[in-house]
């Protein structure tokens, strides 16, 4: 899409107030580029930091995994960084902070707020450029120093920071463009500061160290100042705004050394409290309709809450209750093996790289189990992980162990009505469970619904902890419009597509112009069956409007799922029903039946209407169809099933999914 076309579409999603706001920001950027209203000469810090770390004492009991942290730190010192599909990305140490490791393009050191990070010709793939600049690696080096006392890691942290100060002078270059990126860097600096020893760090012990401390503090002030003047507002006020408040809060709490520090802290805390109410529903689901951002926002709340609590700044009971409810949602959609449906966008990024291995969802549940004294979350988490230890301290492991995992539980919750998600199932949280997660929710958050997918009335299916029907994920963000459109489009989800079109209309890579409105009309849970029904209006825009209604009935006695799709219309339409199988599944067509195997699990799928014959597509780049992305910028072929045919007027189509009864 051309730049002009995108800008016109973006304007269509703005109200008058937002347009005025953005014009004002543009004028301010012009003045800032000329040196007005910026923090070119930061004031001297008034006092040494008296702030406390998020947990005291900092944990040390990593006997089983200590060598993994040291090996990871050694890899960083050798110039090898984790950057999405480039793992390792050989960047050197210190790296060139302004060069995209994927394309090799070097972004110019012009005034940051005038740079267009979407312009791949000038900055490369911005996700790859920004990822190392978040300084997750600084925390890894700080952890290695904390655990080993080896000064090579302390010196490495200093070298990393000094090189960044030299190569990325405020306010020039691509690393002074996005308040979110600046905030995430602040957050990592905060945690690293304490792990490196805080004010008492031997990094600062001589005159050269004192000069380095001042350079770091000057940059911290400039980071806080920048964020405080450039919050994401209006249609951009999604997780970015949440992250900006968290970064500013971390900066103000960790380094309360300037006249503005108190105002920054109050502003950030009030913003976090307000956005918790705006961005998270009462059912505990993040309104971006993307499970990865559910985890990201929960992490942000956790970091801010712990940091504040350690320094006598307590968040409200409502704030903590929302975090608790967010964990309920994660636990309820997670199957017995820990699989979570990849609903909505995911950029595969984390705020802080606490542990060598990522198990982000179960880790959150383990932390929540201790924070909220919940044995049911312990049962879902299954173990006390390293990230939880870093956050809560060594003694938290004993608290986790003491929780009764068999205590009475309300999990899994079945209804998340504000978000539109519903859990159908049999023998849930057992080895013989059948779990479906059905979607009758909105496209996404705010007018652009940036991270939503056109997946109305889709559902996922897991049997005995084995994924059968999946959401194929995200794969691409800024690079690759073809694949960006596919993975967030309707054909990449277990639902119905009409006339080859998506349910919602995209206007850019993070912009939807028309939103399909979905709703649940019925949800009934009983011992014999679970029943869910919903509809959406995404195809009302067609010259002959089509309403898609879907009902799903899980017969628990027969282990059968009956899916009824009704298309309400008057004329002729091309209909496609897609079903996407896990990469661990095999599938074979026999007549109008499809036999699916995942290990010992056997599933048969058929449509009683013999006129509709299925095809299995695996890894087609032409359609495209038959792909899954488990990690950002990585994809692999999967078997995808497509039934297609033409209808004339209102038509009801049925799909029957029969699960091997011996296994459930």
Q: List pLDDT tens digits, range 530-559.
A: 999 999 999 999 999 999 999 999 999 999
Whether the pLDDT of residue 1 is over 70: the answer is no
Tell which phi-psi region holds residue 3, choosing left (phi > 0), alpha (psi between -120 and 50) or beta: alpha
Q: List pLDDT tens digits, range 379-395.
A: 999 999 999 999 999 99
Closest C-alpha to 59, from 386, 352, 329, 338? 386
Global pTM reads 0.97
CA distance 251 to 258: 11
Asked if 643 and 570 touch (Cβ cutoff 8 Å), the reply is: no
Whether the pLDDT of residue 404 is over 80: the answer is yes
Q: What are phi and psi of 609, to 5 degrees?
A: -75, 105
Asked if 540 and 528 touch (Cβ cutoff 8 Å), the reply is: no
Closest C-alpha to 104, from 124, 131, 134? 124
| pLDDT attached to residue 196 | 98
Hey, what are 285's tokens?
A: 């689901």
pLDDT band at 663 (very low <50, low <70, confident <90, very high): low
Tell which phi-psi region holds residue 652, choosing left (phi > 0), alpha (psi between -120 and 50) or beta: beta
CA distance 171 to 113: 8
Cross-strand partners of 362: none
Q: List pLDDT tens digits, range 450-496.
A: 999 999 999 999 999 999 999 999 999 987 799 999 999 999 999 99
Q: What is the CA radius of gyration of the chain?
A: 26
pLDDT band at 74 (very low <50, low <70, confident <90, very high): very high
pLDDT band at 229 (very low <50, low <70, confident <90, very high): very high
| Strands, E assignment, 511-633 | 511-514, 518-525, 529-539, 546-555, 560-568, 572-580, 586-590, 593-598, 601-606, 614-618, 627-631
Average pLDDT (64-86) is 97
| pLDDT attached to residue 591 | 84
CA distance 520 to 556: 21
Count of C-beta atoms within a 10 Å radius of residue 574: 13
DSSP characters for 398-421? Answer: HHHHHS-TTS---PSP-EETTTTE
pLDDT band at 608 (very low <50, low <70, confident <90, very high): confident
| pLDDT attached to residue 479 | 74
Q: What are phi and psi of 563, to 5 degrees?
A: -110, 120
Asked if 598 and 584 touch (Cβ cutoff 8 Å), the reply is: yes
Whether the pLDDT of residue 410 is over 90: the answer is no
| pLDDT attached to residue 18 | 92
CA distance 146 to 194: 9
Q: List pLDDT tens digits, range 277-295.
A: 999 999 999 999 999 999 9
Could you tell me how far CA 243 lies from the centroid of its own chain? 12
């Amino acid at each position: 899409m051309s730049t002009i076309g995108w800008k016109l579409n973006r304007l269509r999603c703005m109200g008058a107030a937002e347009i005025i706001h953005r014009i004002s920001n543009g004028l301010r950027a012009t003045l800032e580029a000329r040196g007005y209203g910026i923090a070119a000469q930061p004031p001297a810090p008034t006092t040494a930091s008296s702030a406390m770390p998020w947990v005291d004492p900092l944990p040390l009991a990593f006997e089983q995994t200590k060598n993994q942290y040291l090996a990871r730190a050694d890899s960083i010192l050798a110039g090898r960084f984790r950057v999405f599909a480039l793992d390792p990305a050989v960047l050197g140490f210190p790296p060139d902070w302004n060069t995209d490791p994927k394309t090799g393009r070097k972004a110019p050191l012009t005034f940051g707020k005038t740079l267009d990070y979407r312009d791949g010709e000038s900055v490369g793939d911005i996700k790859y450029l920004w990822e190392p600049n978040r300084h997750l690696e600084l925390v890894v080096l700080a952890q290695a120093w904390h655990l080993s006392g080896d000064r090579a890691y302390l010196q490495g942290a200093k070298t990393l920071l000094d090189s960044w100060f030299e190569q990325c002078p405020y306010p020039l270059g691509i690393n002074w463009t996005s308040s979110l990126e600046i905030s995430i860097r602040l957050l990592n600096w905060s945690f690293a500061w304490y792990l490196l020893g805080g004010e008492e760090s031997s990094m600062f012990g001589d005159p050269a160290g004192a000069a380095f401390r001042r350079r770091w503090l000057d940059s911290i002030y400039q980071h806080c100042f920048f964020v405080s003047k450039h919050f994401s507002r209006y249609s951009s006020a999604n997780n970015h705004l949440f992250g900006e408040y968290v970064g500013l809060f971390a900066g103000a709490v960790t380094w309360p050394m300037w006249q503005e520090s108190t105002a920054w802290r109050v502003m950030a805390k009030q913003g976090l409290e307000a956005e918790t109410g705006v961005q998270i529903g009462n059912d505990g689901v993040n309104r971006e309709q993307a499970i990865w951002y559910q985890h990201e926002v929960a992490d942000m709340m956790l970091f801010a809450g712990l940091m504040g609590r350690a320094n006598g700044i307590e968040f409200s009971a409502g704030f903590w209750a929302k975090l608790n409810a967010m964990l309920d949602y994660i636990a309820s959609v997670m199957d017995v093996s820990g699989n979570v449906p990849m609903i909505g966008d995911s950029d595969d990024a984390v705020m802080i790289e606490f542990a060598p291995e990522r198990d982000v969802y179960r880790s959150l549940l383990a932390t929540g189990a201790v924070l909220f004294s919940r044995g049911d979350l312990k049962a879902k988490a299954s173990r006390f992980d390293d990230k939880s230890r870093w956050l809560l301290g060594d003694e938290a492991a004993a608290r986790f162990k003491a929780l009764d995992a068999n205590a009475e539980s309300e999990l899994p919750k079945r209804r998340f009505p504000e978000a539109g998600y519903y859990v159908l199932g049999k023998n849930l949280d057992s080895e013989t469970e059948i779990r479906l997660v059905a979607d009758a929710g909105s496209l996404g958050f705010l007018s652009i619904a940036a991270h939503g997918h056109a997946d109305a009335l889709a559902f996922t299916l897991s049997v005995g902890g084995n994924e059968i029907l999946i959401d194929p994920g995200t794969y691409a963000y800024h690079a690759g419009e073809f694949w960006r459109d596919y993975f967030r489009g309707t054909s990449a989800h277990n639902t119905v597509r009409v006339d080859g079109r998506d349910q919602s209309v995209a206007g850019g890579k993070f912009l939807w112009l028309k939103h399909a409105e979905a709703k649940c009309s019925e949800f009934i849970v009983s011992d014999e069956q679970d029943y869910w029904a919903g509809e959406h209006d995404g195809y009302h825009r067609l010259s002959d409007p089509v309403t898609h209604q879907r009902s799903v009935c899980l017969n628990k006695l027969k282990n059968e799922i009956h899916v009824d799709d009704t298309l309400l219309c008057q004329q002729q339409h091309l209909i496609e029903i897609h079903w996407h199988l896990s990469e661990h599944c095999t599938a074979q067509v026999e007549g109008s039946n499809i036999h699916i195997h995942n290990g010992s699990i056997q599933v048969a799928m058929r449509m009683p209407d013999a006129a509709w014959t299925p095809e299995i597509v695996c890894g087609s780049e032409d359609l495209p169809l038959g792909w899954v992305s488990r990690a950002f910028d990585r994809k692999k072929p999967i078997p995808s099933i497509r039934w297609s045919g033409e209808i004339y007027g209102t038509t009801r189509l049925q799909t029957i999914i029969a699960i091997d009864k011996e296994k459930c």
